[in-house]
Structure 1
């Protein structure tokens, strides 16, 4: 483990997944967006967790997003995952063609980026390193 700034060993080693909330019954839209539009692979949830609904998705380089059902759902408007892409313009065009609003932002040094919402209103950040 690498030491922290105060010299203590780091406790965390990597990010396993990010979980976003979704409303009951939204699984078909989530699958179409994350699986179809973004090209992630749906991962079978363990049987006991599958009873709760939602969906899990996996992509390259350890990318894993879990969408969990929340009865009193409110979309994440500030909190968001930052997702890397090698083709920001192509992804923006793909999202826009599917009816999603893309909001460019040039305030992150060393990257081009934009924001878009998933089909249930969660904020997503897409970045491409310069």
Structure 2
């Protein structure tokens, strides 16, 4: 091959029209992502972009909106139990899953029903 995949640049998730306030609350206030500026050429489409270190999530507007129930990003976490408690304290339901050998993990959903996985390797 003559090409190389260097990295995953970002994850794109969808949300319903007019949900930017909820996006900011969940991804920034609860999960700790920082909002990053969208390019002028894309701002008119709505949605919000976030970053946590080198991890970027782009929330785009989808109309009509359908949440991602199966497809999902998986975030590797340091101190998974602390995140789980933090989410539960913010009224975010968590679903334990012990089916991945060598990992502790759980699932949660963003306010729009998109599935999110959080895991910590043992």
Q: TM-score, normalised by structure 1?
A: 0.90
Number of aligned residue pairs: 122
Structure 2 residue runs without a partner (length 5+): none
Q: CA deviation at 1:11?
A: 3.4
What SS is found at the alignment partner of 1:75? coil
Give the whole-Å Cα distance in 2 for the aligned partners of 1:67 and 1:86: 24
Structure with bigger strand share is: 2
Equivalent residue, structure 1, for 2:42: 49
Q: CA deviation at 1:111?
A: 1.3
Give the whole-Å Cα distance in 1 for the aligned partners of 2:58 and 2:46: 11
Q: CA deviation at 1:72?
A: 0.7
What SS is found at the alignment partner of 1:42? strand
Equivalent residue, structure 2, for 1:127: 119
Q: 2:59 aligns with which of 42, 63, 67?
A: 67
Give the whole-Å Cα distance in 1 for the aligned partners of 2:49 and 2:69: 21
Equivalent residue, structure 2, for 1:96: 88
Q: Is 1:87 paired with 2:87?
A: no
Q: CA deviation at 1:110?
A: 1.9
Equivalent residue, structure 1, for 2:18: 25
Structure with max Cα Rg: 1
Structure 1 residue runs without a partner (length 5+): 1-7
Give the whole-Å Cα distance in 2 for the aligned partners of 1:108 and 1:34: 25
- Let me know the Cα RMSD of the aligned residues: 1.1
> Which consecutive aligned stretches of 4+ in structure 1 deviate over 3 angstroms post-superposition?
8-11
What SS is found at the alignment partner of 2:26? helix
What SS is found at the alignment partner of 1:29? helix
Equivalent residue, structure 2, for 1:77: 69
